[in-house]
Amino acid sequence: MSQSNRLKTICLGIFLIGAGAILCSRNPVVPRARASASGPISGVTGAPMENDCTLCHNTPSGERGLFTIDAPGSYMPGQTYQITLTHVNTDDVTPRMSWGFELTALTVAGNMPVGDLQNIPDSTLTQVIIGGPGGNRQYIEHTHDGVFEGQTGGASWKILWTAPPSDVGPVRLYAAGNQANGDFDNTGDQIYLAQATINPPSCTYSLSSASAFFTQSGGPGSVNLTAPAGCSWMVASNDSWITVVSAESGSGNATIDFEVRENFTASARTGTVTVAGITFIIVQDGGLGGDCDYSVSPSFQSFPASGGTGVVQVFAAERCAWQATPNAGWVTITSGSVGVGNGTVSFSVGVNGSGVGRKTTITIAGKTFSVKQKP
C-alpha cells in the first residue's frame, strides 16, 4: 500500500472512531445523544426502523432479568391511561445497580406516531422527547433521577398515554430497557425489549395461561389465544433463547407455538413472549438440582364450603426456579404459578356443593401445600 493510501486509511479510521464517540456521548454536535444516566438518544426502542439500546450498550452480561410493560388491553378515543414499565433482576453474579428505558407508541398499521405520552404530574423520573425516524416520533424515557442509582432487584416507572381522538386501530407500545451494572461504562449492561398492544374497544384478547415452566433442556411449548373474528394480533419473543415457530401475526383465535433453547447459564432465567399485547412469562430451570433449597409458608390452609382465596410464600435462592401446580380441579392458581427466587403463589378455592368435606394439595417447588374444605 502506498504512503498516500495508508494515510487515507488512517484518517478514515479516526473519523469512524470519532463518529461513534459523538453518537454515544454528550457532544453538542448531536443534541439528543446524552449519557445513559440522563436518558438515551431518541429512536432506540426496537420499534420498526429503529435501533435499540445495544447501539451504545454492548457486551451484555447475564440473562436473569425481566422487563415488562403493563398497559390497558383496549382504549377509548381521547381517554388517558396509566402505563407501568417494570424491571426485575435476580442476578447475584453481576447485580444491577441502575435502570433505564425508552418507549414510543405507534399505530400497527403504518407505524405512525399515535396518542400523547406524558409524565406523571410532578414526577422527576421521566421525560418526553421528539425524534427518531422522520424526526417526529414521540418518546418517553428515564431522567437522571429516574435511573434509581444504587438500587438493586429492579425498578419501575409510571407514565401516562392519552389515546388518539378517534379509532385508529391497534396501537403498539415499543420499549427497550437497560439493566446496568452501575460502573458508568457501556459494557456489562443487559438490554431487554418489550411490546404491548392496545386495541380498539371492539377487540379484546385473552390467553389460556399466563406463564409456562421449562426444564433446563428446554423444548416446545404453546399457549392458546382467544380473539374475536377479524381482530388482528402479533406475536414477538422478547428474549433470544425463545423462538416463536408459529405465525407471528394473524386474526381471531390461534395457537401460539414457541421453542425454548437449552439453558447453559447455570442459573434459572425468566423470559417473555408478547401475544396480542399480553405478556406471557416463561421461566426455565437452571439445572442446579440439589443446590436449590426450597420452603413454603404456611404448609396448609382450611376453607369453608363457600370457598375463598389464599396465599403461599415461596422461599428459594435467587438462581433457583420453581412452579406451582394444583392437584384438584376445584383449586385454581390465580398468580405466581412460576417464579425464580422468593415469590408468592395466590390461589382460589371453589364452592363445595358435595355435602362432604374434601382435601387436596398444591405442589410448589416440590413441596406439598395442603388444602382442606368443609362441607
Does 185 lie in the same domain as 256?
Answer: yes
Backbone dihedral angles phi then psi of residue 120, each to the nearest 5 degrees: -60, 135
Based on the fold, state whether residues 122 and 259 are members of the same structural domain: yes
Cβ atoms of 358 and 365 closer than 8 Å: no
Q: Read off the pTM.
A: 0.60
Q: Tell me if 271 is assigned to some domain.
A: yes
**What secondary structure letter does DSSP report for 56?**
T
Residue 328 counted as domain residue: yes
Mention every residue, 6+ apart, whose C-beta is less than 8 A from residue 206. Answer: 225, 226, 278
Residues 6+ apart with CB under 8 A from 65: 87, 88, 89, 90, 91, 96, 179, 190, 192, 270
| End position of a domain, from candidates 284, 302, 337 | 284
SS3 of 38, please?
A: helix
Question: What is the pLDDT averaged over residues 302-308?
Answer: 97
Average pLDDT over residues 312-324: 95
Whether 227 and 274 map to the same domain: the answer is yes
pLDDT score, position 133: 93
Cross-strand pairs, 157: 85
Q: Assess if residue 220 is contained within a domain.
A: yes
Does 206 share its domain with 254?
A: yes
pLDDT of residue 6: 46
What is the C-alpha radius of gyration for the chain, rounded to an integer number of angstroms? 23
pLDDT at site 62: 53
pLDDT tens digits, one per residue of 56-79:
666 554 567 899 999 998 898 888
Q: Mark whether 66 and 107 lie in a shared domain.
A: yes
Given pLDDT bands bounded at 50, 70 and 90, which one contains residue 188? confident
Is the pLDDT confidence value at 26 over 90? no
Q: Give 191-201 pLDDT, tens digit per residue.
A: 899 999 998 88
Residue 272 sits in a domain whose CATH number is 2.60.40.4060
Tell me the pLDDT band of 169, cut-offs 50, 70 and 90.
confident
Residue 225: pLDDT band (50, 70, 90) is: very high
Is 39 among the domain residues?
no
Same domain, yes or no, for 130 and 163? yes
* Model pLDDT for residues 209-219, shown as the tens digit of each residue: 999 999 999 99
Q: Are residues 151 and 72 in the same domain?
A: yes
Domains of the chain: total: 2
Amino acid 37: pLDDT: 61
Residue 191 belongs to a domain: yes
User: What's the pLDDT band for 14 if we cut at 50, 70, 90?
Assistant: very low
Same domain, 273 and 366: no
Q: What is the mean pLDDT of residues 107-113?
A: 92
pLDDT, the chain, mean: 86
Domain that holds residue 303: 291-373
Same domain for 304 and 362, yes or no, is: yes
> Could you say which of 225, 250, 284 is where a domain stops?
284
Pair (194, 232) in one structural domain? yes
Per DSSP, 305 falls in state T
Task: Judge whether 3 lies within some domain.
Answer: no
Parallel/antiparallel/unpaired status of strands 367-373 and 358-364:
antiparallel
Give the whole-angstrom CA distance, residue 119 versus residue 197. 20
Does a structural domain hold residue 147? Answer: yes
Cell numbers given for 173:
407500545
- Return the half-sphere exposure (C-beta side, CA atoms, 13 A cut-off) of residue 230: 4
Domain CATH for 351: 2.60.40.10
pLDDT surpasses 90 at 23: no
H-run or E-run covering 35: none
Q: Taking 60 as the threshold, does the pLDDT of residue 17 lie above it?
A: no
Q: Of 225, 251, 284, at which residue does a domain stop?
A: 284
Per 3-state DSSP, the chain is made up of helix, strand and coil in percentages (nearest 5) of 10, 45, 45
Percentage of the chain modeled with pLDDT above 70: 86
Handedness of CA 307, 308, 314, 319 (dihedral sign): positive
69 shares its domain with 198: yes
Q: Averaged over 143-161, what is the pLDDT? A: 95
Quote the pLDDT of residue 5. 46
Same domain, 353 and 296: yes
Residue 34, domain member (yes or no): no
Q: Is the pLDDT of residue 368 over 90?
A: yes
For residue 266, what is its C-alpha cell? 447455570
Write down the number of H helices and E strands in the chain. Answer: 1, 27
Q: Report how far Cα 371 is from the mean position of its chain's Cα atoms.
A: 33
246 CB contacts (<8 Å, ≥6 apart)? 222, 235, 254, 255, 256, 257, 258
Torsion over CA of 248, 338, 198 and 234, rounded to 10 degrees?
A: 0
Residues 325-355 pLDDT 10s: 999 999 999 999 999 999 999 999 999 999 9
